[in-house]
Amino acid sequence: MLWVKSFHIVFVASWFAGLFYLPRIYVNLAMVEPQSVAERDRLLLMARKLLRFTTLLAVPALALGLTLFWVYGIGQGPGNAWMHAKLGVVALALTYHHYCGRLLRQFEAGTVRRSHVWFRWFNEAPVLMLVASVLLVVLKPF
């Protein structure tokens, strides 16, 4: 079980690293001048590659987390309401990840209407999700 838990932590940390950086690329894309085609294309390529890589990291993170829950029973039974909250945070992270993909398609189509300031705030969400998840797992507050 410790191997599964260790690799789950590694893949979650790696997945979130991608979720931290991808919106930062979006900040830069939102700031690109319309005539800077090469810069826009380079940032779009970086964003596509990072989204693909981040998605590949999310799959084992989720699979290992489900293994810990279903096979090893971590977070099951009475007194484990913290796990329901953590699963809610995971659902938020998956929704955020999916929305990042939608935003990338909007950037590729040239239909993004949000400012770089909005993307700077959007970039903070995964930090809050990771903090919430770690606190729930470590402290098990309820």
Q: Residues 1-12: pLDDT tens digits? A: 999 999 999 999
Residue 77 or residue 106, greater confidence: 106
**Nearest to 27, CA basis, from 110, 122, 105:** 122
Helix and strand numbers (H, E) in the chain are 5, 0
DSSP code for 8: H
pTM greater than 0.85 (yes/no): yes
What are the pLDDT digits (tens) for 81-117? 999 999 999 999 999 999 999 999 999 999 999 999 9
